[in-house]
C-alpha cells in the first residue's frame, strides 16, 4: 500500500481553492465542467438582462422587437400600473406616499427604541390614519377614491400590514384561550383553529368576499376589501396561534410558578414573563409565517382586487406590450424579494438581539 503523504496545511486562498476543487483529476474535471456551465449561464443572463436589453422607453414596444435582450422599457412605460393599479393617474402621488408611510411605519416599529406600548400605538395609529386619509381622500381637499380603485403595491402592502395587525393579536388571544384550564374553552378554540387551518385560503377569501354579504345585514358588511382582510387575518391568526402555542410550550413551567409566587397577576404573568419568552422561541417560525402571508396577498386577485401581481398582468396585458411578460414578472419578483428579504434579515437581527440574555 502506498504511503499517504499528508500535505501541510496550505496557506493562501489559491492553495485553499486548489485543495477544495482540484484535489484529484476527476474532481478537477467536474469542477471545470461546473464552472463553465455557471459562466455560460451567467453570461447568457447578463447578455439578456443588460447588454442586449432595451432600457429607453422612448422607442416604444417596436424598439424591443428589434433587440434580442430584455425589454425593460415595459417597466419604464408601465410602472405606474404595477405600483398603483387602477388608482386615478393624477392622484397616484398619494398612493406612493401611502406606500412610503407603511414602510416608514414598519421600519420605525422595528427599532427597539419604539418598543413601548405608547410609542408603538402612536406610530401605528398615526401611520394608519395617514395611510387611510391619503388613499381614500374625501377630506383635506383630497378627492375621494373608493377602495375598489386601490391597487398595485399600495394595496399589497395595505392588505399585508392590516392582516398582520389584526391577525397577530388575535393569534395571541387564540393561543392563550387554547391553554385555558377550562376544557370547553380550550377545546372550542382548538376546534376553531383546526377548522380554519383545514380550509384553503382561497375558499376563505371567497367566502368573506362573496358569500358573507348574503348572510350579513347591510350595515355589518363593510367594504369587500375589509371583509377580505378580515378573512386573511383569521387565516393568519390560526397558523400564528399554533406557532405562539409552540413557543409557550418551550417556556419552563417554573417561570410561571416563580411569577405566581411573586404575586404577579394573570395578565402580568402573561405579558411580562410568558409571552416575551414564548415569542423569542417562536421567532423563526413567526418570520416564516409573515413571509408566507406577504406572498399570499397575491390570492386576493380571485375576488377582484388588483394587488401588485394582478397589476403586473394588467401592465403587459395590453396589445402593445403583450410579449414582455417575463420582464414584468422579473420586476415584480424583485419587489417581492426586496420586501421578503428585508423581513428575514430583520428576523435574523431580532434573533441575535434576543439571544443576548441566553448566554
Q: Please give the residue ranges that form the binding site for other proteins (CB under 8 A).
A: 252, 254-255, 257-265, 268, 272-273, 276-277, 280, 354, 356-359
CA 177, 178, 181, 185 dihedral sign is positive
Nearer to other proteins, 108 or 279 (CB): 279
Name the minimum Å distance from CB 252 to other proteins.
Answer: 8
Nearer to other proteins, 62 or 358 (CB): 358
Nearer to other proteins, 78 or 280 (CB): 280
* Longest CA pairwise span in the chain (Å): 91
The torsion angles phi and psi of 332, rounded to 5 degrees, stand at -65, -40
Per-residue CA distances from 162 to 102, 146, 234, 327 (Å): 10, 18, 11, 30
Name the minimum Å distance from CB 268 to other proteins.
Answer: 5
Nearer to other proteins, 68 or 355 (CB): 355
Per-residue CA distances from 79 to 46, 162, 308, 313, 348 (Å): 22, 25, 11, 12, 32
Nearer to other proteins, 273 or 299 (CB): 273
What span, in angstroms and rounded, lies between the C-alpha atoms of 241 and 174?
6
Name the minimum Å distance from CB 280 to other proteins.
Answer: 7
What span, in angstroms and rounded, lies between the C-alpha atoms of 113 and 120?
10
Name the minimum Å distance from CB 282 to other proteins.
Answer: 13
Instruction: Using the structure block, give the residue that is written with the C-alpha cell 393617474.
Output: 89
Name the minimum Å distance from CB 354 to other proteins.
Answer: 8
Amino acid at each position: 500500500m502506498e504511503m499517504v503523504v499528508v500535505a501541510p496545511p496550505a496557506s493562501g486562498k489559491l492553495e485553499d481553492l486548489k485543495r477544495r476543487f482540484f484535489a484529484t483529476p476527476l474532481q478537477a474535471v467536474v469542477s471545470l465542467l461546473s464552472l463553465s456551465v455557471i459562466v455560460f449561464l451567467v453570461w447568457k443572463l447578463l447578455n439578456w438582462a443588460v447588454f442586449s436589453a432595451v432600457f429607453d422607453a422612448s422607442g416604444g414596444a417596436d424598439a424591443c422587437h428589434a433587440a434580442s435582450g430584455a425589454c425593460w422599457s415595459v417597466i419604464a412605460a408601465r410602472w405606474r400600473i404595477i405600483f398603483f393599479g387602477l388608482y386615478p393617474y393624477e392622484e397616484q402621488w398619494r398612493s406612493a406616499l401611502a406606500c412610503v408611510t407603511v414602510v416608514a411605519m414598519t421600519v420605525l416599529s422595528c427599532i427597539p427604541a419604539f418598543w413601548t406600548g405608547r410609542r408603538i400605538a402612536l406610530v401605528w395609529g398615526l401611520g394608519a390614519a395617514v395611510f387611510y386619509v391619503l388613499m381614500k381622500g374625501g377630506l383635506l381637499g383630497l378627492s375621494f377614491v373608493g377602495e375598489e380603485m386601490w391597487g398595485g403595491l399600495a394595496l399589497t402592502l395595505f392588505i399585508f400590514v392590516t392582516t398582520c395587525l389584526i391577525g397577530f393579536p388575535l393569534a395571541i388571544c387564540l393561543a392563550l384561550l387554547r391553554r385555558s384550564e377550562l376544557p370547553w374553552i380550550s377545546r372550542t378554540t382548538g376546534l376553531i383553529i383546526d377548522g380554519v387551518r383545514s380550509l384553503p385560503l382561497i375558499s376563505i377569501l371567497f367566502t368573506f368576499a362573496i358569500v358573507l354579504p348574503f348572510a350579513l345585514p347591510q350595515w355589518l358588511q363593510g367594504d369587500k376589501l375589509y371583509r377580505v382582510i378580515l378573512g386573511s387575518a383569521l387565516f393568519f391568526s390560526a397558523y400564528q396561534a399554533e406557532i405562539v402555542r409552540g413557543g409557550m410550550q418551550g417556556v419552563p413551567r417554573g417561570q410561571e410558578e416563580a411569577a405566581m409566587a411573586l404575586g404577579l397577576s394573570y395578565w402580568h404573568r402573561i405579558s411580562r414573563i410568558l409571552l416575551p419568552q414564548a415569542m423569542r422561541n417562536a421567532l423563526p417560525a413567526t418570520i416564516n409565517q409573515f413571509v408566507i402571508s406577504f406572498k399570499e396577498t397575491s390570492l386576493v386577485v380571485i375576488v377582484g382586487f388588483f394587488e401588485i401581481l394582478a397589476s403586473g398582468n394588467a401592465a403587459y396585458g395590453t396589445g402593445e406590450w403583450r410579449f414582455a411578460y417575463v420582464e414584468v414578472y422579473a420586476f415584480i419578483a424583485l419587489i417581492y424579494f426586496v420586501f421578503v428579504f428585508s423581513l428575514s434579515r430583520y428576523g435574523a437581527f431580532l434573533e441575535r438581539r434576543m439571544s443576548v440574555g441566553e448566554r
